[in-house]
Amino acid sequence: MAAGTHNIVIEQAATFVLPLLWKDADGDPIPLTGAVARMQIRAAYGAATALITLTSAPGGGIVLVDPGQITITITDEQTDVLVNRSAVYDLRLDWPDGTSTRLIGGKVTIKPAATLDA
């Protein structure tokens, strides 16, 4: 299955929350049991370093709830340092059997803020 494209807009210095519901072709939520989620935002595909890295580890910014519920949260502290006007991301699920699924990805537009944390 090819990854879906979902472009996102992140406001600098504000908390970003993206709730997702992953469904199969029949519209039924897909079980996430055992999955580990990872997401990175980079200035460009192939950029050496990630601007933001999230995981489904406790406190890692991604919460998985069966069946199919995924919530991505990027804190205001994390978005505060985003100075690029655009970037790219993708969300990947790694399964216990060693396979990986790239679920979604796309462009990130960063809307700059005038009021930043000190």
pLDDT for residue 118: 63
| Count of domains observed in the chain | 1
Tell which residue, 61, 39, 63, has the closest CA to residue 51.
39
Structural tokens at position 29: 């939520």
Mean of per-residue pLDDT scores for the chain: 94
Structural tokens at position 11: 């406001």
Give domain status of residue 103, yes or no. no
Query: Rounded to an integer, what distance in angstroms lies between the CA atom of residue 67 and that of residue 69?
Result: 6
Q: Domain range holding 40?
A: 4-93
Pairing of β 100-111 and β 8-11:
parallel
CATH number, domain of 32, equals 2.60.40
| % pLDDT > 90, the chain | 86
pTM of the model as a whole: 0.92
Give domain status of residue 115, yes or no. no
Give domain status of residue 117, yes or no. no
Give domain status of residue 9, yes or no. yes
pLDDT for residue 83: 85
Structural tokens at position 83: 């100075």
What average pLDDT does the segment 87-91 reach?
97
